[in-house]
Amino acid sequence: MASFKRLDPEDFVISADSISATLWSTGNPTLTEFYTSSTQEASSAGNYYLSVYQTSSTEPAAAVQFDIAYGNEYGSGSIFYDNAVTGSSYTRTVYGQYRNLVLGDENSRFTFGTVTQSDFYVINFERARYKEKLFLGSFNLTLTSGSRTLSLTDNSNDVTTVSYTDAGRVYQIVSGSNGAAYSGTGYHPSSGSYGLLLPDIGVALLNAKALDTDGPYGVLLGTGRSFDTDNNNNRRLFASINNGASFAINSEETISSDFIFVRARNSEFNYSENPSFISGSTGEVLYQSFIDNPKSYITTIGLYNDNNDLVAVAKMSRPLVKDFTKEILVRVKLDF
């Protein structure tokens, strides 16, 4: 039978722990093999984005890891929906979608570092791959085109002030590793940063102009910007990622725990309220030992709200003996 006791405010303690884990379904922090689906490429969806798998898309274990898209403010880089409407194309739709998502203003433009650009590549991490957000400092992407190789990371370890957009926190993508630039700001000398990392929505926007340059600062990606022409830019970025053969990123989530300390003091919970211990006619205790040396056995703790609704139950691994010489302290942990 149950006995009740109201908990005091000091019996409650709340804590939060951050837990990180690999984002990829392979279980490894670094993805080294990349595959696409020829079926998707041939479909209308392929005009908008390209899904990337960890194994051949025809394999039973194949799962989308991230999607690649290309957006252009003026609609160049892809064919028009209607030749009578100049600039109305797939790339302009992608640009507008992420402008609304990130900037929240259809008249705004994307600024990479200190330079405003009109086009970008999108790496949209599959939502099923992470629980809450991306783990800062773990973004490490290697891009290779021909003899040019570029290592990119976020600059979370280099900044002291966090910037925000309509999509949450935003960090610059720079030349570096493990959340820090190799030197200086890690920006391209003339094109700004190499992109934006939005950890709260699982998106990386790569600055196409910065990737297109020659020399030690770019990878000669060769972004096509012809009007009413399918420049197949999604494939260009995929080829560079595939050649680089190294993409590391982890996810992070905050687990909040409510610790509840349930105390049974020496004078409490020593008697049973089971009716079998009491005479139904006289109300007297039937067993003398229960008067002189009472004992009870605690097996379950139930937590109730002020409406007497049972909201949680904690089961003991074994019955706990309780009498006037013993006090019991049970810590109940609720994760949410």
**What is the DSSP secondary-structure string of 58-80?**
TSTT--EEEEEEEEETT-TTS-B
The Cα 87–Cα 325 span in angstroms is 84
Amino acid identity, residue 202?
Answer: G
Nearest Cα neighbor of 324 from 262, 264, 261, 273 is: 264
pLDDT of res. 142: 98
DSSP per-residue letters across 175-204: EEETTEESSTT--BTTTB-SEEEETTTTEE
Nearest Cα neighbor of 248 from 166, 155, 139, 153 is: 139
pLDDT of res. 261: 93
pLDDT of res. 296: 85
The residue ranges of every structural domain in the chain are 9-16+254-335, 24-248
Nearest Cα neighbor of 239 from 56, 25, 34, 70 is: 34
Q: Do residues 285 and 292 touch, judged by C-beta distance below 8 A?
A: no
pLDDT of res. 295: 85
Q: Residue 30 forms beta bridges with which residues?
A: 248
What string of pLDDT tens digits covers the 336 residues of the chain? 567 889 988 999 988 888 899 999 999 999 999 999 999 999 999 999 999 999 999 999 999 999 999 999 999 999 999 888 888 999 999 999 999 999 999 899 999 999 999 999 999 999 999 989 999 999 999 999 998 999 999 999 999 999 999 999 999 999 999 999 999 999 999 999 999 999 999 999 999 999 998 777 889 999 999 999 999 999 999 999 999 999 999 999 988 888 999 999 998 888 777 777 777 677 677 777 777 778 888 999 999 998 989 988 988 899 999 999 999 999 988 876
